[in-house]
């Protein structure tokens, strides 16, 4: 089944989100002295999600919606849109441009459409099941995404967000990955996983995620030839954590995250 119309709608929703998020981002008169104030981000989050829900209500009134800010709105079938109005809020509040709006569509529990829009970077990435993964820089022509062919952990580049939350998921997994990989960087949030899809990074992992944090990532990495799962190999959407790889390295990484001997 083609999801071209759903992807077109998701891209239109991303256009609408970009206008709102950039309006707030460009006008945050914020001086952080001791503790970041997340209030402006909350307002931007809410306004963005409200607008996305309005568009879905008009275009897909029977679909359910799950959003980070306003929870679940029930629908009449097995289609559910999953929204994260701003992924990377800590970056957003400090005017770091690495943040994005994430839009995904699940049908019968399978993510079939994903859009990641990072307007402050001038970047957008998208995928629909069976149609490949694509990316665009500013107004340039879209280019297909393809994961790397790196086959050895000692040649692999690994990205994560930070050291918070790992102990709840894996005893030594983070330390092991830092130790055996060729290069380690904390690009963080959506960007780590998108870099896997682009073939820039070979492994990305985060121990604490909501479904809205990872849903849009899944088809983009998968359609680019990679794999995305929870740390134990189960589907990432309900796992509360996620690891994405170029596919070749995936089983080795899972063994390290679950403490299995290599």
pLDDT in tens, 108-151: 989 999 999 999 999 999 999 999 999 999 999 999 999 999 99
Question: What is the C-alpha to C-alpha distance for residues 173 and 42, in angstroms, rounded to an integer?
Answer: 33
User: Average pLDDT, stretch 52-56?
Assistant: 97
Q: Residue 137: what are its φ and ψ, rounded to 5°?
A: -105, 120
What is the reported pLDDT for 164?
86
Q: Are 86 and 61 in contact (CB under 8 A)?
A: no
Q: Render pLDDT for 37-50 as a digit per residue (tens, 0 to 9).
A: 676 678 889 999 99
Average pLDDT value over all residues in the chain: 92
Residue 231 has pLDDT above 70, yes or no: yes
Cα–Cα–Cα angle for 96, 206, 69, nearest 5°? 65
What is the reported pLDDT for 90?
86
Residue 32 has pLDDT above 70, yes or no: no
User: Average pLDDT, stretch 224-244?
Assistant: 95
User: Average pLDDT, stretch 46-55?
Assistant: 96
pLDDT band at 181 (very low <50, low <70, confident <90, very high): very high
What is the reported pLDDT for 213?
96
Residue 33 has pLDDT above 80, yes or no: no
Q: Which of 84-98, 162-176, 241-255 is predicted least confidently?
A: 162-176
Q: Render pLDDT for 186-208 as a digit per residue (tens, 0 to 9).
A: 998 999 999 999 999 999 999 99
Residue 28 has pLDDT above 60, yes or no: no
What is the reported pLDDT for 16?
98
Measured between its terminal Cα atoms, the distance across the chain in Å is 39
Token pair 């983009």 is found at 220
pTM: 0.94
Structural domains in the chain, CATH included, are: 4-144 (3.30.540.10), 153-257 (3.40.190.80)
């Amino acid at each position: 089944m083609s999801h071209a119309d759903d992807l077109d709608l998701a891209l239109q929703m991303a256009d609408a989100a970009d206008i709102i998020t950039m309006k707030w981002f460009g006008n945050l008169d914020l001086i952080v002295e001791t503790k970041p104030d997340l209030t402006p981000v909350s307002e931007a989050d809410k306004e963005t999600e409200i607008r996305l829900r309005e568009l879905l209500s008009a275009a897909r009134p029977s679909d359910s919606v799950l959003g980070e800010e306003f929870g679940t709105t029930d629908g009449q079938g097995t289609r559910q849109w999953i929204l994260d109005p701003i992924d990377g809020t800590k970056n957003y509040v400090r005017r770091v441009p690495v943040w994005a709006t994430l839009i995904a569509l699940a049908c019968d529990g399978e993510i079939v459409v994903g859009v990641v829009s990072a307007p402050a970077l001038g970047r957008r990435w998208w995928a629909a099941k069976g149609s490949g993964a694509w990316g665009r820089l500013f107004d340039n022509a879209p280019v297909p995404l393809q994961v790397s062919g790196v086959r050895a952990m000692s040649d692999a580049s690994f990205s994560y967000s930070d050291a918070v939350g790992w102990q709840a998921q894996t005893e030594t997994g983070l330390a092991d990955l830092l130790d055996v990989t060729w290069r380690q960087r904390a690009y963080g949030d959506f960007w780590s996983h998108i870099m896997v899809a682009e073939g820039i990074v070979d492994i990305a992992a985060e121990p604490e995620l909501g479904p809205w944090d990872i849903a849009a990532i899944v088809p983009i990495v998968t359609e680019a030839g990679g794999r995305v799962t929870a740390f134990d190999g189960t589907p990432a959407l309900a796992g509360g954590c996620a690891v994405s790889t170029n596919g070749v390295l995936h089983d080795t990484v899972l063994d390290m995250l679950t403490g299995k001997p290599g």
